[in-house]
A = this chain, B = another copy of it.
Amino acid sequence: MKKSGVTLVDVAKLAGVSTMTASRALSGEGYASEEMRTKVHAAAKELGYVPNALARMMKGGKTNVIGVVVNDLSSAVINAFVTALSEEVRKIEMDMFIYNSLGDLGHGRGKRLSQMLHGLWDGLLFVLPRMTDDYLEQLEQSASPIVLVNYFSRETTLPVVRGDNVNGAHDAVSHLLDLGHRRIAFVRGMAYTGQSELRERGYRLAHEAAALEVDPALVVGGDFSEVAGLEAGRALMDLPEPPTAIFAGNDSMALGCINAIREKGLEVPKDVSVVGFDDIPASALVQPALTTLRHPVEAMAHAAVQELVRRIQGQPGRRHRIEFPSEFIVRASTAAAPAPAPRARPRARGRRAQA
């Protein structure tokens, strides 16, 4: 089943010229007399000719297409990166396809991905990828240009463009410490992207720098989702000595925490300060607006595309790992720590802080 039936040969035949003339007339490259050009264009139009991109690509060896692989399009963060990448790619006049692997690379269908579609694109960008070790190894041995964006799981020889999570988290927690908070909770995300771990490291380093110990009860599990944040928040606020501030592994969980805090009849930031990570769109719109950290998405997208293009063109990569500092954005969800509770009954106060 042909794509559209009509090929360049048909056009040429109708126009009464050679295929080559037709090709030249249509592509605009090379010499072609005005007469031929109009004749060919007329024929093409009449037949409804549409060039077959596949054939053109095959001939040239280059497709002028960059592929972007994600495994969860519903994530606001991934979305932001994909959109920024689209714009970068458009700037350099290339095309971009997004491929949603629907889950970890290396399992099921994703297993074959990098191979199956090989040849369709000049280079591949992986955004916040989750993959098996096997898969990574396969990628490392792949001949086609690849750049990983925000990959943290393990060391790799592939070029990586990533945001700095440790220092960002450090900044956020230091800010809370500066505001007088001493019981600062951390809500973990899922382990496998590696981001949660790095953010937790920053959280711990900030405590160390202030010569403070982290109460293990204040570090709780989560999975980066809003519901997980809600549950983690409830658990934290139910603690005998609840935290006065929560640093959530990401914004979604931070929003969940805010809801949990409200359920207890407490106010953000008066009673409890909350900080997120990622600066998803909702964070700026919510009440109170969320203090958070954001990766310089546009700059990172730019760097990733540049690096990829460099490799596509066979030039040596600029750098193996490009790291971007995250920007700390102070909004309305953080404030000075509340006056310390009258030692005797911290719980009582927490319960009915306001009617």
Contact = CB atoms under 8 A, between A and B. Distances in A.
Interface of A: 1-6, 48, 50-55, 57-58, 61-63, 73-74, 79-80, 82-83, 86-87, 90, 95-100, 102, 109, 115-120, 141-144, 226-227, 230, 255-256, 259, 262, 281-282, 285, 287, 312-314
Q: How many copies does the complex hold?
A: 2
A4 B123 CA distance: 11
B90 A3 contact: no
B79 A95 contact: no
Nearest to A314: B1
Which of A48, A116, A119, A262 is packed against the most chain B CB atoms within 10 Å?
A119
A141 B45 CA distance: 11
Contacts of A99: 95-98
Which of A1, A55, A61, A142 is packed against the most chain B CB atoms within 10 Å?
A1
A145 B57 CA distance: 22
19 contacts: A1-B314, A3-B118, A4-B142, A50-B115, A52-B119, A53-B119, A53-B120, A55-B119, A58-B58, A73-B73, A73-B98, A74-B79, A82-B100, A83-B100, A83-B102, A95-B99, A97-B99, A226-B285, A262-B287
A2 B62 CA distance: 8
Contact of A97 (B4, B98, B142): B98
B100 A98 contact: yes
A118 B57 CA distance: 11
